[in-house]
Amino acid sequence: MTKPLAGRIALVAGATRGAGRGIATMLGEAGATVYCTGRSVRGEPATDGRPETIEETAERVDALGGRGIPVRVDHSQEPQVKALCERIRREQGRLDLLVNDIWGGESLELGPAFWKQSPAQGWLMMERGVRTHLITSRYAVPLLFESDRGLLVEITDGDSFGYRGNVWYDLAKMSTVRLAFTMARELRRTRVTALAVTPGFLRSEQMLELFGVTEATWRDGAAKDPNFIASETPAFVGRAVAALAADPDVSRKAGRVFSSWGLAREYGFTDVDGSRPDWGAHFERVYGQSGDPADEAAYASWQGGFMTLAFPDWPLD
């Protein structure tokens, strides 16, 4: 198998689980050296109930033919991020790809009405999901200047202006899209491209547990939510990012948001089982064209049902 990213240096900030782990491992599959950062290490998990660690992610990168380097970093702590980037400069001399996937919002309160939600919880979501990205970009982008074709990828949720189920969550995820746009504007006279990428209905470790299935039996999850049949593994968005990193003309995409399924159509990659999930086509088939008020109402109804499934204490008023 060819390794289009052999010799490339990547930093996946937030590589412990979910999309971050999928991206790190697929960059490894493409031959990259990947710095895998996060707060959870063996013996010291940072998220209650989640066993995944950055060491496991790095080992998977190695197993797929890349080189994984786990580094424990709390990306909300500026000195730790600065030290990480200084280490990458010492060890590699440059950075070719930065992926901002830091989240850490799994354990935070998600309420349907902003006037009932704790502002402190909401601001913590912004701290973890937006401020960390800004801190990381501040120190990593100068390393991208040393590359002949630097790429900065903001991982978000959704490629439209549609409602994302909760005011604070919506604000956090739309903010990352806006970050990609504004950073691309300020980077326009450099060799660095900034853009955003969204997965579809992500079949993460947490989602598999929520639906009571394994990766081998995931289709059974459609009994709880029929939309789960259109879900994708974290590797799918990982291959999307790898394809972007290997594209010599990626600068043409600066400032925009792209979906895993749209990039799969463009670049021709598949999920790990050989399928090509298409959350966008599924969404349009089930809920109609985005922007129609009736379609928005139907989607909001599904969002309410899904939030109730994911968060049993979620109030519906």
Other CB atoms within 10 A of residue 309 CB: 13
Measure Cα distances from 285 to 132, 160, 202, 280 in Å. Answer: 36, 16, 19, 9
Measure Cα distances from 164 to 169, 293, 316, 317 in Å. Answer: 7, 15, 15, 17
> How far is Cα 120 from Cα 204, in angstroms, rounded to an integer?
27
Measure Cα distances from 79 to 73, 88, 236 in Å. Answer: 10, 14, 33
**H or E segment to which residue 172 belongs:** helix 167-186
Strand ranges (DSSP E) for the chain?
9-13, 33-38, 67-72, 97-100, 150-155, 192-198, 257-259
Q: How distant is the alpha carbon of residue 135 from its chain centre?
A: 17
DSSP string, 188-228: TTSSEEEEEEE-SSB--HHHHHHTT--STTGGGGGGT-GGG
Asked about 267 being catalytic, the answer comes back as no
Instruction: Determine which one of 35, 169, 287, 299 is catalytic.
Output: 169
The dihedral of CA 216, 276, 160, 158: what is its sign?
A: positive
Measure Cα distances from 113 to 76, 225, 268 in Å. Answer: 27, 23, 41
Q: Which two tokens stand for residue 131?
A: 């401020």
Nearest residue to 23 via CA among 263, 255, 309: 263
Catalytic residue numbers, as ranges: 169
